Every structure is written in structure tokens, then in C-alpha cells.
Amino acid sequence: MMKNGTSAKIFIVEDEPFFANLVNYDLEANYFDGIKVFFSGEDCLKNIDLKPKVVILDHQLPGMSGLEVLQKIKAFDPKIHVIFLSGQRDAKLAIGAFKKGALDFIMKGENAFQEVRELLAKILKKPANGVEVKKLPAAKSKKPSTTKKPLSTEKTAKASAKLTKKQPVK
């Protein structure tokens, strides 16, 4: 589901069409584009030559597992970021994913979409809410004058003492 023929930046690999479409909808609603959805690891790998920047990958897929797909993606291009988005609550699986090069392992749940958006924003260098923020030009700073020497501590103390003495009232 790519817009205006732009190259795919994001692959979603999820065997459950309803969930895959939810992820896709959430990303598009938050101004991410260049999204392509695949329902199997094999289909993803057949299109890996499109060189996505990020692959959002489920673990439990028909045919190849998410870990097998991850290994093949990294063999093709180690720079492709892979984010696992899985319902598997298995610490060994998550550790295995990290060891094979996954950037993160996000559990499907209440905050999953927000976590994915935040990671994508960092990777693609755009705000998670889709609103571009332009940087203001840096203000030119004036260098302090170097012709005057700072007062010594002793002189500062004397000046302070003079100011704090009470003056007679006329």
C-alpha cells in the first residue's frame, strides 16, 4: 500500500490480515508512507530488493518463522532495521531476535502502535505524530569583550562593601 509510487520505506509482515491492516492504517493515519504489507515471510523476501528501511515483523508466520526471515533480511542488507511486533511473550525468543540483529521486540498490546510509531520516527527521522518541525536558524552569539579584565575577587569584595555601607541621610 504505497502512495504515489514512492519507494517502500516500511514493510509490514503479518499473517493476520486484520492486524496487518490495523498497523498499516495506524501508520498512514500518522503520516507514514511508503508502506507495503506482506502476509508471509516468503512474500517479504521476494520483494526485499525494494530495500525498505524498516521491516515490522511478526514471529509466528506460516512457513518461515520471523527469526528465519530476520536472518535472511540481515544477510541481504544488515542496514535494514527489523522491529518484531509479536504476541509471543517469550524472553528467549526476544533475546534470540536481538542476537540476530533485531532493533526491538514489541509485544502486541495496548501501547504497541505508539511504540512502533516512536521507533519509526527515530529511524526515519520524522516526528511520531507526523507534524514536521522546522529548526530555527541558530542565533548568532556575540562574543564577550576581551578588552576588559574581570575584577579580582578582592576588588569585587571592596566594591560590594562600599555599596552595602549605609549612607547618612541628609
- Would you state the pLDDT for residue 131? 47
Q: Residue for cell digits 535472511?
A: 72
Q: Is 159 inside a domain boundary?
A: no
Q: Is 149 inside a domain boundary?
A: no
Q: Tell which wins on pLDDT, 17 or 132.
A: 17
The domain containing residue 73 runs over which residues?
10-124
Q: Is 37 inside a domain boundary?
A: yes
Q: What is the CATH number of the domain that holds 64?
A: 3.40.50.2300
Which residues of 23-69 form beta strands (DSSP E)?
A: 35-38, 54-57
Q: How far is CA 151 from the centre of its chain?
A: 49
pLDDT band (50, 70, 90) for residue 31: confident
Question: How many independent structural domains does the chain possess?
Answer: 1
Which of 6-20, 58-72, 151-165 is most confident?
58-72
Q: Is 111 inside a domain boundary?
A: yes
Could you read off the pLDDT of 107-121 as tens digits, one per residue? 998 899 999 999 998
| Averaged pLDDT score across all residues of the chain | 80
Cell of 80: 535494514
Q: Is 166 inside a domain boundary?
A: no
Could you read off the pLDDT of 47-97 as tens digits, one per residue? 999 999 999 999 999 999 999 999 999 999 999 999 999 988 889 989 999
Q: Is 33 inside a domain boundary?
A: yes
C-alpha to C-alpha distances, 120 to 55, 56, 127, nearest whole angstrom = 10, 10, 9
- Would you state the pLDDT for residue 133? 45
Q: Is 2 inside a domain boundary?
A: no
Q: Is 143 inside a domain boundary?
A: no
Name the percent of the chain in helix, strand, coil, to the closest 5.
40, 15, 50
Could you read off the pLDDT of 136-147 as tens digits, one per residue? 455 554 555 555
